[in-house]
Structure 1
Amino acid sequence: MSWLGGPLTAFDLETTGTDVETDRIVTAAVVRIETDGSVSRERTWLLDPGVAIPEQASAIHGISTEHARAHGAPAASAVGEIARAVAEGLRQGTPLVVMNARYDLSLLDRECLRHGVESVSERLGGAPAPVIDPLVIDKHVDKYRKGKRALYALCDHYGVPLDEAHDARADAVAAARVVRSMGERHRPVGLMPLSDLHDLQVRAAAEQSVSLQAYLRRTADPAAVVEPAWPLIPRRR
Protein backbone atom coordinates (compact mmCIF):
# COMPACT_ATOMS: atom_id res chain seq x y z
CA MET A 1 0.00 0.00 0.00
CA SER A 2 1.36 3.45 -0.86
CA TRP A 3 1.42 6.34 1.57
CA LEU A 4 -1.70 7.68 -0.15
CA GLY A 5 -3.67 4.90 1.51
CA GLY A 6 -2.67 5.74 5.06
CA PRO A 7 -2.91 8.57 7.59
CA LEU A 8 -0.71 11.66 7.57
CA THR A 9 0.47 13.93 10.36
CA ALA A 10 0.62 17.60 9.38
CA PHE A 11 2.63 20.26 11.17
CA ASP A 12 2.60 24.05 10.79
CA LEU A 13 3.95 27.11 12.57
CA GLU A 14 3.15 30.80 12.56
CA THR A 15 6.08 32.86 13.78
CA THR A 16 7.60 36.26 14.49
CA GLY A 17 9.51 36.32 11.18
CA THR A 18 11.42 34.30 8.60
CA ASP A 19 14.87 33.75 10.15
CA VAL A 20 15.15 30.23 11.58
CA GLU A 21 18.08 31.26 13.78
CA THR A 22 16.47 34.20 15.57
CA ASP A 23 12.70 34.17 15.14
CA ARG A 24 10.17 32.57 17.50
CA ILE A 25 7.05 30.43 17.40
CA VAL A 26 3.73 32.19 17.96
CA THR A 27 1.23 29.44 17.08
CA ALA A 28 1.60 25.79 16.12
CA ALA A 29 -0.54 22.86 15.08
CA VAL A 30 0.01 19.11 14.80
CA VAL A 31 -2.92 17.38 13.10
CA ARG A 32 -3.61 13.77 12.07
CA ILE A 33 -5.41 13.47 8.73
CA GLU A 34 -7.09 10.22 7.75
CA THR A 35 -7.24 8.78 4.23
CA ASP A 36 -10.62 10.40 3.55
CA GLY A 37 -9.21 13.82 4.46
CA SER A 38 -10.92 14.03 7.85
CA VAL A 39 -9.15 15.27 10.97
CA SER A 40 -9.04 12.55 13.63
CA ARG A 41 -6.70 14.20 16.13
CA GLU A 42 -5.29 17.68 16.61
CA ARG A 43 -3.28 19.82 18.98
CA THR A 44 -2.80 23.55 18.71
CA TRP A 45 -0.71 26.00 20.70
CA LEU A 46 -0.58 29.75 21.27
CA LEU A 47 2.75 30.82 22.73
CA ASP A 48 4.08 33.88 24.44
CA PRO A 49 7.28 33.99 22.38
CA GLY A 50 9.08 36.14 24.93
CA VAL A 51 9.77 38.89 22.40
CA ALA A 52 7.68 41.53 20.67
CA ILE A 53 5.86 40.26 17.58
CA PRO A 54 6.64 42.60 14.66
CA GLU A 55 3.63 44.35 13.14
CA GLN A 56 4.40 42.78 9.77
CA ALA A 57 4.11 39.28 11.28
CA SER A 58 0.96 40.18 13.24
CA ALA A 59 -0.63 41.44 10.03
CA ILE A 60 -0.12 37.98 8.51
CA HIS A 61 -1.29 35.66 11.29
CA GLY A 62 -3.38 38.08 13.36
CA ILE A 63 -1.64 37.56 16.71
CA SER A 64 -0.43 40.70 18.48
CA THR A 65 2.26 40.92 21.15
CA GLU A 66 -0.36 41.90 23.71
CA HIS A 67 -2.61 38.94 22.86
CA ALA A 68 0.27 36.47 22.96
CA ARG A 69 1.48 37.79 26.33
CA ALA A 70 -2.01 37.67 27.83
CA HIS A 71 -3.12 34.29 26.49
CA GLY A 72 -0.04 32.40 25.31
CA ALA A 73 1.64 29.51 27.09
CA PRO A 74 5.24 29.91 28.31
CA ALA A 75 7.45 29.25 25.32
CA ALA A 76 9.72 26.65 26.93
CA SER A 77 6.93 24.28 27.98
CA ALA A 78 4.99 24.71 24.74
CA VAL A 79 8.05 24.14 22.55
CA GLY A 80 8.69 20.87 24.38
CA GLU A 81 5.10 19.77 23.81
CA ILE A 82 5.27 20.62 20.10
CA ALA A 83 8.51 18.71 19.62
CA ARG A 84 7.06 15.73 21.49
CA ALA A 85 3.91 15.70 19.34
CA VAL A 86 5.89 15.88 16.10
CA ALA A 87 8.26 13.12 17.21
CA GLU A 88 5.44 10.86 18.40
CA GLY A 89 3.79 10.81 14.99
CA LEU A 90 7.04 9.94 13.25
CA ARG A 91 7.88 7.30 15.87
CA GLN A 92 4.57 5.63 15.05
CA GLY A 93 5.55 5.48 11.38
CA THR A 94 3.15 8.17 10.17
CA PRO A 95 4.68 10.45 7.51
CA LEU A 96 4.97 14.11 8.51
CA VAL A 97 3.63 16.71 6.06
CA VAL A 98 5.22 20.14 6.39
CA MET A 99 4.88 22.94 3.86
CA ASN A 100 8.40 24.34 3.44
CA ALA A 101 9.74 21.85 5.97
CA ARG A 102 13.21 23.39 5.88
CA TYR A 103 11.77 26.46 7.63
CA ASP A 104 9.29 25.03 10.14
CA LEU A 105 11.39 22.08 11.31
CA SER A 106 14.56 24.18 11.56
CA LEU A 107 12.82 26.93 13.54
CA LEU A 108 11.36 24.34 15.93
CA ASP A 109 14.84 22.86 16.31
CA ARG A 110 16.32 26.25 17.22
CA GLU A 111 13.53 26.93 19.70
CA CYS A 112 14.30 23.60 21.38
CA LEU A 113 17.96 24.60 21.61
CA ARG A 114 17.03 28.05 22.95
CA HIS A 115 14.83 26.66 25.71
CA GLY A 116 16.93 23.64 26.61
CA VAL A 117 14.42 20.96 25.63
CA GLU A 118 14.94 17.82 23.54
CA SER A 119 14.60 18.48 19.82
CA VAL A 120 12.66 16.26 17.43
CA SER A 121 15.95 14.79 16.18
CA GLU A 122 17.13 14.05 19.72
CA ARG A 123 13.84 12.37 20.55
CA LEU A 124 14.04 10.22 17.41
CA GLY A 125 17.77 9.53 17.46
CA GLY A 126 18.17 11.06 14.01
CA ALA A 127 16.80 13.65 11.60
CA PRO A 128 13.00 13.71 11.13
CA ALA A 129 11.86 11.19 8.51
CA PRO A 130 9.82 10.48 6.53
CA VAL A 131 8.81 14.05 5.74
CA ILE A 132 6.61 15.07 2.82
CA ASP A 133 6.95 18.68 1.69
CA PRO A 134 4.34 19.95 -0.81
CA LEU A 135 6.61 22.82 -1.84
CA VAL A 136 9.58 20.62 -2.75
CA ILE A 137 7.46 17.98 -4.47
CA ASP A 138 5.46 20.48 -6.51
CA LYS A 139 8.62 22.15 -7.78
CA HIS A 140 9.97 18.72 -8.69
CA VAL A 141 6.94 17.30 -10.51
CA ASP A 142 5.90 20.56 -12.21
CA LYS A 143 9.19 22.39 -12.55
CA TYR A 144 8.29 24.87 -15.27
CA ARG A 145 4.77 25.88 -14.19
CA LYS A 146 4.56 29.65 -13.88
CA GLY A 147 3.09 31.39 -10.87
CA LYS A 148 3.49 31.32 -7.12
CA ARG A 149 4.12 28.19 -5.06
CA ALA A 150 2.79 29.46 -1.73
CA LEU A 151 0.28 27.21 0.05
CA TYR A 152 -2.72 29.23 -1.12
CA ALA A 153 -1.52 28.90 -4.72
CA LEU A 154 -0.99 25.14 -4.36
CA CYS A 155 -4.47 24.81 -2.86
CA ASP A 156 -5.92 26.61 -5.84
CA HIS A 157 -3.92 24.52 -8.32
CA TYR A 158 -4.81 21.18 -6.72
CA GLY A 159 -8.41 22.02 -5.86
CA VAL A 160 -8.09 22.09 -2.07
CA PRO A 161 -10.09 24.58 0.05
CA LEU A 162 -8.14 26.97 2.29
CA ASP A 163 -10.54 29.11 4.28
CA GLU A 164 -8.23 30.53 6.95
CA ALA A 165 -4.78 31.05 5.47
CA HIS A 166 -2.03 31.65 8.06
CA ASP A 167 -3.97 29.87 10.77
CA ALA A 168 -1.61 27.06 11.82
CA ARG A 169 -4.34 24.39 12.00
CA ALA A 170 -5.94 25.40 8.71
CA ASP A 171 -2.59 25.51 6.94
CA ALA A 172 -1.55 22.11 8.33
CA VAL A 173 -4.79 20.47 7.18
CA ALA A 174 -4.58 22.11 3.75
CA ALA A 175 -0.96 21.02 3.30
CA ALA A 176 -1.87 17.38 3.99
CA ARG A 177 -4.82 17.49 1.59
CA VAL A 178 -2.71 19.21 -1.08
CA VAL A 179 0.04 16.62 -0.90
CA ARG A 180 -2.50 13.79 -1.15
CA SER A 181 -4.04 15.44 -4.21
CA MET A 182 -0.54 15.93 -5.60
CA GLY A 183 0.23 12.25 -5.13
CA GLU A 184 -3.00 11.24 -6.87
CA ARG A 185 -2.25 13.50 -9.83
CA HIS A 186 1.41 12.54 -10.08
CA ARG A 187 1.18 8.80 -9.51
CA PRO A 188 4.91 7.98 -9.59
CA VAL A 189 5.26 10.15 -6.48
CA GLY A 190 2.05 8.84 -4.91
CA LEU A 191 3.14 5.22 -5.33
CA MET A 192 6.74 5.74 -4.21
CA PRO A 193 7.86 4.06 -0.96
CA LEU A 194 8.21 6.64 1.80
CA SER A 195 11.95 6.16 2.25
CA ASP A 196 12.47 6.71 -1.48
CA LEU A 197 10.18 9.74 -1.47
CA HIS A 198 12.08 11.27 1.43
CA ASP A 199 15.42 10.72 -0.32
CA LEU A 200 14.02 12.16 -3.55
CA GLN A 201 13.09 15.36 -1.73
CA VAL A 202 16.56 15.65 -0.19
CA ARG A 203 18.02 15.62 -3.70
CA ALA A 204 15.29 17.78 -5.24
CA ALA A 205 15.53 20.43 -2.51
CA ALA A 206 19.28 20.67 -3.02
CA GLU A 207 18.88 21.00 -6.78
CA GLN A 208 16.19 23.65 -6.36
CA SER A 209 18.42 25.61 -4.00
CA VAL A 210 21.33 25.54 -6.45
CA SER A 211 19.04 26.79 -9.21
CA LEU A 212 17.57 29.59 -7.08
CA GLN A 213 20.99 30.64 -5.83
CA ALA A 214 22.31 30.88 -9.38
CA TYR A 215 19.28 32.94 -10.39
CA LEU A 216 19.66 35.34 -7.45
CA ARG A 217 23.36 35.79 -8.08
CA ARG A 218 22.65 36.51 -11.71
CA THR A 219 19.77 38.94 -11.17
CA ALA A 220 19.88 40.44 -7.68
CA ASP A 221 22.75 39.63 -5.33
CA PRO A 222 26.11 38.24 -6.50
CA ALA A 223 26.74 36.94 -2.98
CA ALA A 224 23.34 35.26 -2.45
CA VAL A 225 23.41 31.92 -0.63
CA VAL A 226 20.41 29.55 -0.60
CA GLU A 227 20.48 26.75 1.96
CA PRO A 228 20.48 23.31 0.26
CA ALA A 229 19.82 21.13 3.35
CA TRP A 230 16.37 19.56 3.74
CA PRO A 231 14.26 18.90 5.80
CA LEU A 232 16.42 20.36 8.57
CA ILE A 233 19.08 23.06 8.34
CA PRO A 234 22.09 21.99 10.43
CA ARG A 235 22.79 24.05 13.53
CA ARG A 236 25.60 26.55 13.31
CA ARG A 237 28.72 25.51 15.19
Structure 2
Amino acid sequence: MKLKCIIVDDELMARKSLQRLCEQDDSLNLIGVFENVEDALQFLSKEPIDIIWLDVEMPGLSGFDLLKNLTSMPQVIMTTSKVEYAFEAYQYQVTDYIQKPITMPRFKMAVEKVLELNNRKTTTSPEREEIYVKIDGRYIRLAYSDILYIENIGDYVNIITQRQSYIVHTTMKYLEEKLGNCFLRVHRSFIVHLDKIVDIEENNLVVSNKVIPISRANKPELLNKLNML
Protein backbone atom coordinates (compact mmCIF):
# COMPACT_ATOMS: atom_id res chain seq x y z
CA MET A 1 0.00 0.00 0.00
CA LYS A 2 1.42 3.38 -1.04
CA LEU A 3 1.94 6.12 1.54
CA LYS A 4 -0.03 9.30 0.84
CA CYS A 5 2.12 12.43 0.94
CA ILE A 6 2.02 16.16 0.24
CA ILE A 7 4.64 18.83 -0.48
CA VAL A 8 4.55 22.27 1.18
CA ASP A 9 7.17 24.65 -0.23
CA ASP A 10 6.98 28.21 -1.57
CA GLU A 11 9.88 27.74 -4.04
CA LEU A 12 8.65 26.64 -7.47
CA MET A 13 11.83 24.80 -8.51
CA ALA A 14 12.08 23.04 -5.13
CA ARG A 15 8.45 21.89 -5.46
CA LYS A 16 8.98 20.58 -8.98
CA SER A 17 12.20 18.78 -8.07
CA LEU A 18 10.64 17.11 -5.03
CA GLN A 19 7.51 16.27 -7.01
CA ARG A 20 9.61 14.42 -9.61
CA LEU A 21 11.36 12.45 -6.87
CA CYS A 22 8.06 11.48 -5.25
CA GLU A 23 6.50 10.42 -8.54
CA GLN A 24 9.49 8.16 -9.28
CA ASP A 25 9.13 6.31 -5.98
CA ASP A 26 6.74 3.34 -6.07
CA SER A 27 6.10 3.49 -2.33
CA LEU A 28 4.65 7.03 -2.43
CA ASN A 29 1.37 8.51 -3.64
CA LEU A 30 1.70 12.28 -3.99
CA ILE A 31 -1.80 13.73 -3.52
CA GLY A 32 -1.11 17.43 -3.01
CA VAL A 33 1.43 20.18 -3.69
CA PHE A 34 1.10 23.52 -1.88
CA GLU A 35 3.06 26.76 -1.96
CA ASN A 36 1.82 28.03 1.42
CA VAL A 37 0.91 26.69 4.84
CA GLU A 38 -2.62 28.09 4.85
CA ASP A 39 -3.74 26.02 1.85
CA ALA A 40 -1.97 22.94 3.19
CA LEU A 41 -3.73 23.20 6.57
CA GLN A 42 -7.11 23.52 4.88
CA PHE A 43 -6.38 20.35 2.89
CA LEU A 44 -5.06 18.46 5.93
CA SER A 45 -8.21 19.23 7.93
CA LYS A 46 -10.14 17.10 5.44
CA GLU A 47 -7.67 14.52 4.16
CA PRO A 48 -5.55 12.17 6.30
CA ILE A 49 -2.02 11.62 4.96
CA ASP A 50 1.11 9.70 5.91
CA ILE A 51 3.97 12.10 5.05
CA ILE A 52 4.50 15.86 4.75
CA TRP A 53 7.54 17.14 2.84
CA LEU A 54 7.76 20.50 4.57
CA ASP A 55 9.83 23.62 3.93
CA VAL A 56 10.66 25.81 6.94
CA GLU A 57 10.85 29.42 5.70
CA MET A 58 7.80 30.56 3.75
CA PRO A 59 5.91 33.86 3.39
CA GLY A 60 3.17 34.13 6.00
CA LEU A 61 3.03 31.03 8.17
CA SER A 62 6.22 28.96 8.47
CA GLY A 63 6.66 25.21 8.45
CA PHE A 64 6.77 25.28 12.25
CA ASP A 65 3.44 27.13 12.28
CA LEU A 66 1.97 24.26 10.28
CA LEU A 67 3.24 21.74 12.85
CA LYS A 68 1.74 23.80 15.68
CA ASN A 69 -1.68 23.79 13.99
CA LEU A 70 -1.90 20.10 13.09
CA THR A 71 -4.65 18.16 14.87
CA SER A 72 -2.90 14.86 14.07
CA MET A 73 0.81 14.39 13.39
CA PRO A 74 1.85 12.35 10.32
CA GLN A 75 5.50 11.65 9.56
CA VAL A 76 7.22 14.92 8.64
CA ILE A 77 10.36 15.38 6.56
CA MET A 78 11.58 18.97 6.76
CA THR A 79 13.37 20.37 3.71
CA THR A 80 15.43 23.57 3.98
CA SER A 81 18.63 25.19 2.79
CA LYS A 82 19.62 26.07 6.38
CA VAL A 83 20.91 23.84 9.17
CA GLU A 84 20.09 26.11 12.10
CA TYR A 85 16.47 24.94 12.24
CA ALA A 86 17.41 21.30 12.83
CA PHE A 87 17.25 21.43 16.63
CA GLU A 88 13.81 23.06 16.65
CA ALA A 89 12.61 20.61 14.02
CA TYR A 90 13.46 17.61 16.14
CA GLN A 91 11.57 19.12 19.09
CA TYR A 92 8.50 18.30 16.98
CA GLN A 93 9.79 14.73 16.54
CA VAL A 94 10.06 15.06 12.77
CA THR A 95 11.13 11.91 10.95
CA ASP A 96 13.98 13.51 9.01
CA TYR A 97 15.62 16.86 8.17
CA ILE A 98 17.08 17.34 4.68
CA GLN A 99 19.19 20.19 3.34
CA LYS A 100 18.40 21.51 -0.13
CA PRO A 101 19.13 20.79 -2.89
CA ILE A 102 17.75 17.28 -2.31
CA THR A 103 19.63 14.53 -4.11
CA MET A 104 18.11 11.20 -5.09
CA PRO A 105 20.25 9.17 -2.61
CA ARG A 106 19.30 11.50 0.28
CA PHE A 107 15.64 11.39 -0.78
CA LYS A 108 15.68 7.58 -0.80
CA MET A 109 17.32 7.53 2.62
CA ALA A 110 14.47 9.63 4.04
CA VAL A 111 11.82 7.42 2.43
CA GLU A 112 13.48 4.28 3.77
CA LYS A 113 13.41 5.80 7.26
CA VAL A 114 9.69 6.49 6.90
CA LEU A 115 9.03 2.93 5.69
CA GLU A 116 11.08 1.46 8.52
CA LEU A 117 9.15 3.44 11.15
CA ASN A 118 5.85 2.52 9.51
CA ASN A 119 6.76 -1.15 9.44
CA ARG A 120 7.87 -1.04 13.07
CA LYS A 121 4.51 0.41 14.11
CA THR A 122 2.46 -2.16 12.24
CA THR A 123 4.51 -5.22 13.22
CA THR A 124 5.41 -4.55 16.84
CA SER A 125 2.82 -2.15 18.21
CA PRO A 126 -0.74 -3.10 19.11
CA GLU A 127 -3.56 -0.92 17.87
CA ARG A 128 -3.67 2.19 19.99
CA GLU A 129 -6.80 2.67 22.06
CA GLU A 130 -6.62 6.45 22.19
CA ILE A 131 -6.62 9.63 20.16
CA TYR A 132 -5.09 13.04 20.90
CA VAL A 133 -7.12 16.17 20.15
CA LYS A 134 -5.84 19.74 20.08
CA ILE A 135 -7.69 22.04 22.49
CA ASP A 136 -6.48 25.60 23.23
CA GLY A 137 -2.98 24.92 21.93
CA ARG A 138 -2.38 21.65 23.78
CA TYR A 139 -3.03 18.00 22.96
CA ILE A 140 -5.47 16.13 25.18
CA ARG A 141 -5.51 12.34 25.33
CA LEU A 142 -8.93 10.74 24.89
CA ALA A 143 -9.18 7.02 25.54
CA TYR A 144 -11.52 5.24 23.11
CA SER A 145 -13.34 3.76 26.10
CA ASP A 146 -14.29 7.28 27.28
CA ILE A 147 -15.79 8.43 23.97
CA LEU A 148 -19.56 7.97 23.65
CA TYR A 149 -20.24 9.49 20.24
CA ILE A 150 -19.11 12.21 17.84
CA GLU A 151 -21.39 14.76 16.21
CA ASN A 152 -20.68 16.82 13.11
CA ILE A 153 -21.16 20.60 13.50
CA GLY A 154 -20.15 22.22 10.22
CA ASP A 155 -16.37 22.57 9.93
CA TYR A 156 -15.98 21.11 13.44
CA VAL A 157 -16.88 17.96 15.32
CA ASN A 158 -18.10 17.62 18.89
CA ILE A 159 -16.53 14.64 20.67
CA ILE A 160 -18.76 13.60 23.56
CA THR A 161 -17.08 11.69 26.39
CA GLN A 162 -18.38 10.37 29.68
CA ARG A 163 -17.25 13.54 31.46
CA GLN A 164 -17.35 16.40 28.96
CA SER A 165 -17.31 17.33 25.29
CA TYR A 166 -14.52 18.64 23.03
CA ILE A 167 -15.04 20.74 19.90
CA VAL A 168 -12.28 20.05 17.35
CA HIS A 169 -11.61 21.52 13.91
CA THR A 170 -11.59 18.41 11.72
CA THR A 171 -13.94 16.33 9.56
CA MET A 172 -16.01 13.21 10.09
CA LYS A 173 -14.22 11.55 7.17
CA TYR A 174 -10.86 12.15 8.81
CA LEU A 175 -12.04 10.72 12.12
CA GLU A 176 -13.55 7.68 10.42
CA GLU A 177 -10.10 6.77 9.11
CA LYS A 178 -8.28 7.55 12.36
CA LEU A 179 -10.53 5.84 14.92
CA GLY A 180 -10.51 2.14 15.74
CA ASN A 181 -12.96 -0.58 14.73
CA CYS A 182 -15.05 0.01 17.85
CA PHE A 183 -16.45 3.14 16.16
CA LEU A 184 -18.94 3.29 13.30
CA ARG A 185 -20.51 6.12 11.36
CA VAL A 186 -24.25 5.50 11.60
CA HIS A 187 -25.37 8.78 10.01
CA ARG A 188 -23.71 11.58 8.06
CA SER A 189 -23.67 13.59 11.30
CA PHE A 190 -22.84 10.90 13.87
CA ILE A 191 -20.11 8.39 14.72
CA VAL A 192 -20.85 6.15 17.71
CA HIS A 193 -18.83 3.88 19.96
CA LEU A 194 -20.48 0.51 19.36
CA ASP A 195 -19.99 -0.62 22.97
CA LYS A 196 -21.90 2.43 24.25
CA ILE A 197 -25.15 1.68 22.40
CA VAL A 198 -27.95 1.15 24.92
CA ASP A 199 -30.93 0.58 22.63
CA ILE A 200 -31.82 0.35 18.93
CA GLU A 201 -35.32 0.98 17.59
CA GLU A 202 -36.13 1.19 13.88
CA ASN A 203 -34.08 4.15 12.59
CA ASN A 204 -32.68 5.42 15.90
CA LEU A 205 -30.29 4.27 18.59
CA VAL A 206 -29.59 5.49 22.10
CA VAL A 207 -26.20 6.32 23.60
CA SER A 208 -26.21 7.75 27.13
CA ASN A 209 -29.76 9.17 26.80
CA LYS A 210 -28.91 10.71 23.42
CA VAL A 211 -31.20 9.60 20.58
CA ILE A 212 -29.10 9.29 17.42
CA PRO A 213 -30.55 8.71 13.93
CA ILE A 214 -29.42 5.75 11.80
CA SER A 215 -29.29 6.36 8.06
CA ARG A 216 -30.69 3.73 5.70
CA ALA A 217 -27.28 3.40 4.01
CA ASN A 218 -25.43 2.77 7.29
CA LYS A 219 -27.95 0.48 9.00
CA PRO A 220 -26.85 -2.82 7.33
CA GLU A 221 -23.23 -2.33 8.44
CA LEU A 222 -24.37 -1.45 11.96
CA LEU A 223 -26.49 -4.59 12.27
CA ASN A 224 -23.66 -6.67 10.82
CA LYS A 225 -21.19 -5.40 13.46
CA LEU A 226 -23.50 -6.08 16.40
CA ASN A 227 -24.32 -9.48 17.89
CA MET A 228 -27.95 -9.69 16.79
CA LEU A 229 -30.09 -12.66 17.84
- TM-score norm. by structure 1 comes to 0.29
Q: TM-score, normalised by structure 2?
A: 0.30
Q: Which has the higher contact order (CA 8 A, sep 6+)?
A: 1
**Which one has a larger percent helix, Structure 1 or Structure 2?**
1
Structure number with greater Rg is: 2
